Each structure stands twice: as C-alpha cells, then as structure tokens.
Structure 1
Amino acid sequence: MKAEECTLYHGGLKGAETVFGELAEKYNLNEVIFTFEGHRLHRDRNAVSLTEEDLQRGDISMEIASRMMNRTYYETEKIRRVLQAIFHMVNKGHQVFVIGTILDDNSVKGGTGWAVELAKLFNRPLHVYDQNRQGWFSWKDESWQAEERPKIAFDTYVGSGTRYLSDEGKEAIELLYADSFGE
C-alpha cells in the first residue's frame, strides 16, 4: 500500500494523537482532524470543524455510553461533543489503533475508550498498545489477544489514545509506521 493513498483520522489532542499525526506527515500520509467549535487542538493540520448537524449524526445517550464503557458519564456538552467527534473518526477509519490502558472489564481507560467501543460495535480491526503491559493487543473473538506488532493495512485508519503518552507508547507508534511504510 502506498502511504500517500492512506488517510489518518484523529482528534488533534496532545499525546498519542499528536504523535500519530506527526508521523503521518513524516510518511506523507493524508491526515484529517475532526474538531468542533470551542475545542482546543494541540495539532490542527487539515482540521475539519464538524457542524451541529454533523455532531448530531454521532449523538448517543450518555446513559448508553456509560453502560457500554462500564463507567459514569455525566451529561455535559463538552463530553457529548467529544464522543460525537470520536464517532466521526471511527466511522471514517476502517482500522483503529489506540494507545492506552486496557482495564479488567475489557474497556480502555478514559475517553479513548469510546473509540475502542465504537470500533468493536462497527467490527473494525482494533489494536490497542497497553502502556502498562507494554504490548499490542487485538480485539478478536470477544477478547483481547496479544499480538507482535500490527501494521496499517487499510487506506483509512484511526489513531487515538492517551494524552499521557509514555516513551514506550511513542515508540510503539513509531514502529507501527516504520513497519507499515518502511523507513
């Protein structure tokens, strides 16, 4: 697959998403950042501001989101908008890569977990680098299975994850790009 035919979708936040974006730029991939009015980005290359109508297409009840992620999300406009924007990322990207922490209930810590739950729901190939266990895991047969090093295998993909990126998490993203597109 040619790098220039691939598109990364992400939310432009500091940490994992910024590193995914910087490496997409380095390897000459397309990059689209979904945002909305009032959302502060750390990286804003090719930002697409979602309209109110766009955001509504990604709307979900906070009760359902809370249930799917086994935690409580309170009804705040900012959280709702973030979850709506994540819907657009996962809806556009065929393969999903996340840097974070897999919890005992099989969800992923933080807001990043919503991208993971949507990837499961949409049956997207899903890969999580767990910073605590320092390894990649894929969601297969309703469970997390350890894997060596995944590759970007589709022309659209999502890069998401924690704002608190470890050195090992950064290296995992760097190796993902190197393995997928060469040095």
Structure 2
Amino acid sequence: MVDQPKLKTISLSTSWKNHILGYIFSVLLIPVFGVGLALLYWIKQKHKKYRYQFTDTQITSRDDKYQRNIDLVNIEKVEVEQDWIQEKMGVGNITLYTSAFSMTLRGLETPYKLKDLLEKAIYDQKERLKQKEDNKPKKPDHKPGTKERMDYLTGLWQQGLVSDEDYEKERKHFE
C-alpha cells in the first residue's frame, strides 16, 4: 500500500478589521433603543460568514450556503483590491481568476503578502504537474504487438516462405 503525502492545510477567515466601521457604528447606536445591539449581532454574523481553506493543490471558499473549490493549476491571475479603509487597516480582497469564473476571498489581512504566496504556490503546483507529465511513460508509436508481427513477417520473407510482392503488400498494413 502506497502512502499518500499529507496535504498542508491553512484555514483563514475574514478579518474583524474588514468590518471595523460596522462595529464602530453599531457600538455608537447601542443607546438608541438597542438598535446598535441588533446591528452588532448582524455585523458579527457577516464577519463569520466566509471561511477559506488552502491546500497544496486547491483553495476552498465556504459561506453559510455554498462551497467553491479552485485547483491551483487553473488559476490564471491573482489580484488584490482594497478601498482606502481596508488599506489603512491592512486588509483587502483577493480575486482569483480562472478561464471559467472568478472567486473573491474577502477581508484577508496582509493581502499583498498572501498574493505573493499564492502566486508561488500556483507556480510550484504547475511545475509539479509538468514534471509528473514529463515522467509518464511515453506511448509507443505503434499498436501493441505490431512490432512483433512485423518481425515475424520479415522472418518469413527472409526464409523465402513469403514472396516479395506479398511481403510489400502486408508490410504496408504495419506503417
């Protein structure tokens, strides 16, 4: 039995810094008939909504309803998006583009550092896949058993058991 290598897994979630304005606003509204408490609860739920899991081969995004996966080898472009508050707080959104769709990882801390790490992981995974393809055994240029049958026919021709015309006619079937 061959042991499969264990994948490294990193889990991240949206940073509280991404929702700082919502937290501040809801705390300020607490004296107004408890509206701030309801708003604080809503912001906390929104903050906990997204979770991301990174492995050596793919990225998984989960929210309360859906789960989406992207294989690293399919990612064509990685971009960081920040508004001015996110920039000041050191958080941002990372958007991953494939040929079919895009996935946005929201409110992650140190987005540019994460982008660099992701791009390196994508490059490494593509190189591993390329090496795996290069190490695969090559398919023969001929059908299985064809070379043996051609050798047999050549032997019969050399022994004089097959005429030159028949040999040439049959040899064309093996090309």
Superposition TM-score, scaled by structure 2 size: 0.20
If asked which structure has higher relative contact order (CA below 8 Å, sep 6+), I would say 1
Larger radius of gyration: 2
Superposition TM-score, scaled by structure 1 size: 0.20
